[in-house]
Amino acid sequence: MTRFLDVRLSRVGGGLAASVAMNQGTNADNYQSLDKTQLLRDIQGRHVLIGTHGFNVDRARGIASLSNWEGLLQLASPSVFVGLLWPGDSIWAHGLDYPEEPRIANEAGGLIAPFLDSTFGGAASISFTSHSLGVRVVLETVSRMNLPVRRAQTVRHTQ
């Protein structure tokens, strides 16, 4: 099951949560809480790749897409993938809310950075990958982190 850091308040649209939730699953039907102790064991001494989605992705699609990424990556041990879900979508007027989304992306990064600093210190390294507006979440996170970041990379979407 894919591990997730989730800063969404709602499954569709909505604002930013007050804290980072730790979850796991491969789709919205089996998405469940992940114990912090288990997450710490899963990342201890491993190279962590945190991947996030871009604009206009609700929670269910984010879970499915990032779980698919994890399967396609076929990371060799001692590496581990962690998905990152943020509220980059709207429950109404899809696309019209785009001008507001960069602020939300920045705020998401501001919430995630201190969480990573306090929780991911036992990882061998931390890297990021993202697409579209999710890159802004990554850049804001990296700029606010105290832990070193091994690599940050963007992914181009192709159909």
For residue 17, tell me if it sits in a domain.
Answer: yes
Query: Would you say residue 97 has pLDDT above 90?
Result: no
Residue 45 maps to a domain: yes
Is the pLDDT confidence value at 158 over 70? no
Q: Give domain status of residue 68, yes or no.
A: yes
Query: Has residue 26 been placed in a domain?
Result: yes
Residue 100, judged by CB atoms within 10 A of its CB (0-12, 13-18, 19+), counts as exposed
| 59 falls within a domain | yes
- Residue 159 in any domain: the answer is no
30 within domain boundaries: yes
Q: Are 128 and 153 contacting, i.e. CB atoms less than 8 angstroms apart?
A: yes
Question: Measured between alpha carbons, how far is 74 from 80 in angstroms, rounded to an integer?
Answer: 10
Strand order in the sheet with 2-8: 32-33, 16-25, 2-8, 79-85, 47-52, 125-130, 151-154
In a domain, 73, yes or no: yes
Identify the pLDDT of residue 145: 98
Return the amino acid letter for 113.
Answer: A
Best CA proximity match to 102, nearest among 55, 63, 69: 55
Number of domains making up the chain: 1
Residue 17, token pair as written in the block: 């949560």
Q: What percent of the chain has pLDDT over 90?
A: 75
Domain that holds residue 83: 2-154
Coil, helix or strand at residue 86:
coil
Q: What is the pLDDT of residues 55-91, one digit of tens each?
A: 889 999 999 999 999 999 989 889 999 999 999 886 6
pLDDT band at 99 (very low <50, low <70, confident <90, very high): low
Report d(CA 20, CA 35) in Å as an integer: 13
Distance from C-alpha of 77 to C-alpha of 26, rounded to nearest angstrom = 20
